[in-house]
Amino acid sequence: MNSDDWLGVTFYALVLILPASALLSRRIPLRKLAGLAAIWAVIIVSAMVIVGLTRDGVGPAWTRLRAVLGNDEQRVSGDTIRLRMAEDGHFWANVAINGKQARMLIDSGATTTSLSVDTARAAGLDLDQSSIPVPIQTANGTVMAHTSSIARLELGPIVAIDLRANVAEEFGSMNVLGMNFLSRLGSWRVDNGWLILEPIHA
């Protein structure tokens, strides 16, 4: 059982213990106590089912909700960033691109950072910087992409200046941080389900 499972067990144990202790402290008659306990049991089981369906049946939505709520998925310690592996097996980062918030997949297999057209436009990138689209290789084959430059990309305390990015309609809504970002770091590694990013120290 991993740490997340132990946290889940502990949480549900507390959920059961707290209402039970509250009911017992009020010295309610046994018949009424049994009825109230049954109601609490229904509420708790229903909550567990809803949470289970949400996590297992709507994985991407659950992942995005965790990101919005800041559910310990992205930690900052000094100038070090720690990213927890998501349920899809990937590492995702919340970044600021020219001051605009975006969610990006970190992919060491991608040579260059890639942005969706919507993200690029929201960040004010000049898509005419490269007037002629260039062919690039992706996991889904060759696509024609415009090249542009991100003036400032911030991942917590880590900042990349003038970072090249490819932009194409074929990327859909996907944004990817590639090796041209990772290669600017002092180090990066995967350790026990966490991606640890450290900048170059002066």
Domain coverage including residue 179: 73-198
Q: Which of 127, 107, 130, 131 lies closest to 116, judged by CA?
A: 127
Residue 18 lies in a domain: yes
CA count, 13 A, side-chain hemisphere, 174: 18
Residue 66 lies in a domain: no
Question: To the nearest whole number, what is the mean pLDDT of the chain?
Answer: 79
> What pLDDT, in 10s, does the model give residues 113-156?
999 999 999 999 987 766 678 888 777 788 888 899 999 999 99
Per-residue pLDDT at 202 exceeds 70: no
Check whether residue 40 and residue 119 sit in a common domain: no
Check whether residue 96 and residue 8 sit in a common domain: no
112-123 per-residue burial string, b: 16 or more CB within 10 A, e: under 16: bbbbbbebbebb
Q: Is the pTM of this model over 0.85?
A: no
> What pLDDT, in 10s, does the model give residues 77-113?
889 999 999 999 999 999 999 999 999 999 999 999 9
The CATH number given to whatever domain includes residue 139 is: 2.40.70.10
Residue 148 lies in a domain: yes
**Number of domains observed in the structure of the chain:** 2
Per-residue pLDDT at 7 exceeds 60: no
